[in-house]
Amino acid sequence: MNEARGGGTAGKAWMKAFEDIVIVAYAEAKNEKGSGRTAYDLAGEVLSGLVERSGIGLDQIDGLAASPTMSEGANPFYSVFMAELLGLQTSWLQGMDLGGASSIAGLHRAAMAIRSGACETVALIAADSPSTAWTAQFDRYDAPKVGLLGPPGAFALLMNRYDHLYRLKPEALGKLAVTQRAGAVQNPNAYERFRKPLTLEQYFQSPMLSEPIRVLDCVMYLDGASGVLITSRANAERRKLKSVRPIAYREVSNFRVRDLDADMLESGFATAGPKALADAGLRPDQIQMFHPYDDFTFAILLQLEQIGFCKRGEGSEFILSTDLSPRGRLALNTGGGQISAGQPGLASGGLNLVEAVRQLMGEAGERQVPNPRNAMVTGIGSIAIMRNWNVSNVLILEVGQ
Amino acid sequence: MSDGTSAPALAAKASDFGRPYWDALRAGRLTMQACSATGRFQHPPRPVSFANGSRTLDWREIGGNGRIYAFTINRRPAPGFEGRTPYIVAVIELPERIRIMANIEARPESVRIGAAVRFARKLSPTGDPLFELDKAVPGTEAR
């Protein structure tokens, strides 16, 4: 670890969690609408993929981190039941509840658990089937019922405020939708209905939901799952497995929560992003691939600004002037992201993570980024009242063995 | 769409610590939680003071005059808002350095960020306070 890297003592502590930790396998189920499947069955498909790809058997997976679900959300024993159904005896078991931020947060927790000696190999699984079943209940106490159309309405408020301050160019959001759709066309795991190209004209014809947000700025809830297998570098080397290394991670929940008149646009990415980059010793222009959590197109724009790819208010221009294709300067959500591959409920964040891992292993087929070196993956969890999201987290990965 | 499968209740789910807010509203008064020690307001209600972490909180009636901080116009109704489109949902900043989210009783074309609004002294069908444009105040732009 050279001194040029790392944001001081705190940075070193954050990075220590990842020392000698690697990802050795990924797996993903295809996104489907109303699949009729349970999250457990989807998790089974993912686990079986992880075992097959790594050669690491059930008896050697001693840790499990499970993302939360909408479909099984009412069950407080979800992660225990999952381990039982998947045949995993664990010495470390973690149910996550950071919404879409759970996958990369789970990776960080898993790394800490492995480093502490609690376990050696963790299956990090995100599975959900909200278009088949919904048992979760997360209505906030005292939240006004003013007919806001859920998360799209909350994002419409953010976009309206942003437009007032800086001018939001809808053609920039349209470019994000068009670019990511091209990724979905090349991604066999994307929702089949989305696997046809989109034009900017079609984007502009998309109906307004809650001004100024359009249907094509939003995700569609589907059933799906993904996961990765995390272990020690020594174990990966012993088994001669291909690997991806996490090198930096930062997380902020409830950014400026007590500051009730704070800028509603400013999110935890404003600190998590720059700190993760400093920890990794990278400038934003050295990030090769960006796999941001994309529940809405506008979330990508805000992240580009707050993480530091461009200045506040310059997001539209940055998007319009940057090649975001797999061969471009900053490859963006190459598999279509959630907007174009579909959002597998609260398994959402796993989709962005698994695509980054697949790219870094050089297995992304026709959408492969040439000479993959590094990738940034982000997570967003829950939408706060009159603010932006509750959880912002940032992960940087690089090619391992 | 994301929340289509769980139909929210039409009225807010009142908490124990927030109940005085809803009780006062039903009596026609707009009150806000404030820290007894520092006088700092907070909204929505919380179980502790954000100023000092204590539980010493009380309730103070406020004037209900504010400015639009952000808004959206819904052309599709949320559950319970059928037949009311288009309608305005706004985040309003109040002089107490807090914000409130409410519907504004106004024509969609007439709202903009910075416009002065006031508590209309009536409630929406969901039991939330309704706001209206405050024509007495010249609508200077607020950032």
Q: Residue A231: pLDDT above 60? A: yes
- Looking at residue B75, what is its pLDDT? 87
For residues B123 and A308, give the distance between their C-alpha atoms in angstroms, rounded to a whole number.
Answer: 43
**Which DSSP helix (H) or strand (E) runs through A383?**
strand A374-383
pLDDT surpasses 70 at B3 = no
Q: Among partner residues A141, A151, A157, which is closest to B91 by beta-carbon distance?
A: A157
- The predicted pLDDT at position A4 comes to 44
CA atoms within 13 A on the CB side of B35: 16
Looking at domain B65-133, which of 2.40.50, 3.40.50, 1.10.10, 2.30.230 is its CATH number? 2.40.50
Element spanning A179, H or E: helix A170-185
Q: ipTM score here? A: 0.94
* pLDDT of the residue at A165: 98
Q: What is the mean pLDDT of chain A?
A: 96
Task: Summarize pLDDT for B6-37 with one digit per residue, the tens.
Answer: 434 588 999 999 999 999 999 999 999 999 99
Q: So where are chain B's domains?
A: 19-61, 65-133
Q: How far is B136 from chain A (nearest CA, A)?
A: 23
CB-nearest partner of A264 from B14, B41, B70: B70
Quick check: A2 pLDDT over 90? Answer: no
What tokens appear for B126 in the block? 């969901």
Task: Report residue A229 as tokens.
Answer: 């297998």
> Residue A9 has what pLDDT?
66
> What is the rounded CA–CA span in Å between residue B37 and residue B52?
8
Shortest Cα distance, chain B CAs vs residue A372, angstroms: 34
Determine how β-strand A331-332 pairs with β-strand A289-291: parallel
- C-alpha dist (Å) from residue A140 to A145, A382, B123: 10, 11, 20
Task: Kindly state the percentage of chain A with pLDDT values over 90.
Answer: 94
Beta bridge partners of A379: A393
Mean pLDDT of A112-141: 97
User: Minimal Cα–Cα distance from A153 to chain B, Å?
Assistant: 7
* CA of B113 vs chain A CAs: smallest distance (Å): 7
d(CA A350, CA A16): 23
Average pLDDT for residues A348-361, to the nearest whole number? 98
For chain A, domains (ranges, CATH) are 8-134+223-244 (3.40.47.10), 150-220+246-399 (3.40.47.10)
Chain A nearest-CA residue for B49: A258
Res A192: pLDDT: 98
Measured CA to CA, the distance from residue A215 to residue A374 in angstroms comes to 32
**The pTM is what?**
0.95
Among A290, A284, A276, CA closest to A247? A276
Contact B126 A145 (CB under 8 A): yes
**Residue A16: its pLDDT value, please?**
77
> In which band, very low, low, confident or very high, does the pLDDT at A64 lie, cut at 50, 70 and 90?
very high
| CA–CA dist A167, A80 (Å, integer) | 48
Structure-block tokens of residue A324: 């975001």
All residues of chain B having their beta carbon less than 8 Å from the beta carbon of residue A164 are 70, 113, 143
**Closest by Cα among A302, A203, A265, A383 to B113:** A265
Q: Do A144 and B102 touch (CB under 8 A)?
A: yes
What length does chain A have? 401
Q: Residue B139's pLDDT is what? A: 54
User: Which residue reads 């999250």 in tokens?
Assistant: A39
Q: For residues A110-116, give the mean pLDDT.
A: 97
Residue B40 has a pLDDT of 98
Burial class of residue B34 (count of CB atoms within 10 Å of its CB; 0-12, 13-18, 19+): buried
Contact partners, residue A200, CB within 8 Å, separation at least 6: A171, A174, A175, A178
For B114-139, what is the mean pLDDT? 91
Tell how many helices (H) and how many strands (E) occur in chain A: 13, 12
Lookup: tokens for A136: 């979760």
Considering only CB atoms, which chain B residues are within 8 Å of A156?
A: 72
Phi, psi of A294 (to 5 degrees): -130, 70
Per-residue pLDDT at A320: 98
Chain B residues with CB-CB distance to A143 below 8 A: 12-13, 44
A-B contacts at Cβ under 8 angstroms: 152
pLDDT surpasses 50 at A1:
no
Across the interface, of A130, A134, A160, the residue whose CB is closest to B71 is A160
Residue B54 has pLDDT above 80, yes or no: yes
Q: Decide if pLDDT at B2 tops 60.
A: no
The pLDDT assigned to B4 comes to 40
